[in-house]
Structure 1
Amino acid sequence: MAPKRPRGLKAAADAKADGKKQKTEDAKDGAEPKTVMLDADVEEDDELSELQAIYQSAVQKLDSNPTEALALLRGAIHESDRMLRNWEGDVSPPPTFHLVYGSALLDMGQLVQNEEPGPYYEAALERLEAGLESLSEVKGDETEKESVSVTKIHIQLAKTLLTQLQAMASLSTDKKPSPKTIETSQKQIEDAKGHVQKALEMPFGSSPADVSFFSTLPQILLLFSDVADLMDGLVDLDSQIPFYTFALDSLGQLQTKKVELTDDALAIGKMCLAQANAYLAEDDQAEDDQEEDDEDEEEATDAPHATETIAVLEKGLGALKVTTTNMTVDFYATRAELAINLGNFRDETDQEILYKEAVEDIKRIQAIDAEKGEKSLPEGLESFLQDWEESTEA
């Protein structure tokens, strides 16, 4: 197959009733009170444990039953507000309370469809920040547990800041934000980076709930790549690239902590692909500008960031070649695009090997789609497969 000039493809785009505690959510808008079953056993009169159980039940249903998750989140927020108003004693609520309250607000902001999410994110930031401040009041046997909650709060603060930025970008009608908005966004990303850095220096805990929480960190770190993509064209490449590298470096630090991670290899692959696409976009623009200046087209064949692009493509593809777990459509699509982009830089022999690997992954996606009766193959990969089959038949 004839070599192609290096360009990015840009791939297109979770009741047992016996023995469980019940919590009744207040009726809203004239609806009958809704009784939900909690997927956990909690001690009688332990309001904080009960609140945690409500929230965890919501988390378990975020993907499989968002409607029920939304009801549970509203219940958790309502209960948190009641507990905060009625809190007794000289000591503030512990970090764990603020963690649950803030996390429920964050998740609500991501789930609501007919409401403005911004107020939820602002309230989440306020609650989580209060949790950081309350650690100083914790004493005795609770210190270790609450320190782990503070680690989680730092992670949730980073997630909230980045999610807030994504929401602002999706709702904005401005073709290009003002310099002040861009500056504020960059500061928000830096604040998120600071929270991740602090979390990586703190205890992670080893309870089942801790293991479950921290296993999802690769997906949270991926938000830095997503936000970096949003900055494309708003800041120069030198300001954009550190967001990608921070995500990769942080994931590397996370792996040294021997935490059980979910899809960390896929996260590395997606981070590397995003960074490579940023380099490719910059080089494409530079070439277009050069052609407009009537420069000799032959002089534009060497991409200025070829070395950096190849390095991150090799890193991402290498991570996905050694894993044998969670082989999803997203996994195969990411690996295929990495292989194609890397092949675009290789000589004809190595290029054909990489292209064949990509074709195999594309056909794996097609097999999954056929089994499920779906169509999830990204348009760019579908187009590549058609070009490949036409060239091999010729």
Structure 2
Amino acid sequence: MKRALALVLSGLVMACAFGQGNPARGVRRPPKLQLFHEVNLSTFWHQAIIRQLAFSPDSQYVAVKLDPVLGTTELVIVEVLTGKKISTLRSPEYLGMSQNDRVQWLDNQVVFLGSYYRWNALSGERLADAPVVGWQAIFNQDRTQLATVENVLGTPSYLHVYDTKTWSDKKIYADGLSIGTIAWTSDDHLVMSVGVTRKSMGKTIAGHQIGRGPDVGPDVALLLFDPQSQQFIKSLWFPARARKTAKGIEWDISADLMLGISCFGSNSVTLSVNKILDGRTFDIKQFYSDQQVKSNSVAMVGGQACSADGRFLFIKDVDSWDGRHKASNSIIDLALSRQVASFPGGKEEIASSENGQFLAFGGKKGISIFLLNGE
């Protein structure tokens, strides 16, 4: 049955590709979405609230983190080719609102929720908790390492890097810095967004000396860190000062250093709602202007996903709470640093498969799985 479905799927992908014609030389058409499955995860009493999505490494399954009823968190495993629900995994605590307690796969069977909760996704068996401390757990590209952050806001942080075969731990003191967010690059380096603490004042990090006064020197940064040598390789420092405007006090936009997802195919990391960071050169490109962001005329972040080759970024938009902004999902060509297409429908949260064939996002009653095709 699965082989037959795979053949049908392959035929669909080829038909879609041939139907598009040959693009002009040097032009890369954005992917197109073709609905494959609608998977209803709601119950008679409650509409499922989709929190996060993650495809298995072999792209056969998608794990859906959701709130099935008020105050509970579950993972539902869905087979991609059939749309069938394979198992339901119940979290021992409510983790629905936390983006730090993300769902991700260690391999084609073991799925993680947060730093240490784990299950056999196919059998539904709860496995022993992983021996991990810290939050914001993220696997590297080949899932041989897991990074977590241990800190209290505004205090010096520790970075933990675990070997996922032995669970041995490299505990690394971050030179008195406070780590905000982290993301892996495709060459197994870590990008960190950091702030300073009293213990880091006056230190020289990656060739930059941190100022000692509130008006001297920058106080937020992006750092590129090599866990093997435990050295900072590159740094970008920014002022995070408040400024007076006609609207009142606003923070300088350069201080918005929230790291998003890793686009391993292009060795890049998303930054805030409108930027991409090159994981090798540490250059930053902006695909929406500051004015577009301030005017609510672009897709804000209801979720992000990258194409397998890292060329395209899919941004799942949401309606703003005050009604001033209506959802408008975007496809960004990262090589061109601009929006090249949009796509309709769905609610927040989005994920792409590692084989480059599927995109899934939250729908009205569950999730929608799409075929991705394009030149």
Q: Same fold (TM over 0.5)?
A: no
> Relative to total residues, which structure has the larger strand share, 1 or 2?
2
Structure whose alpha-carbon radius of gyration is higher: 1
| Bigger proportion of residues as helix | 1
Name the TM-score, length of structure 1 as normaliser: 0.27
Scaled by the length of structure 2, the TM-score of the pair is: 0.28
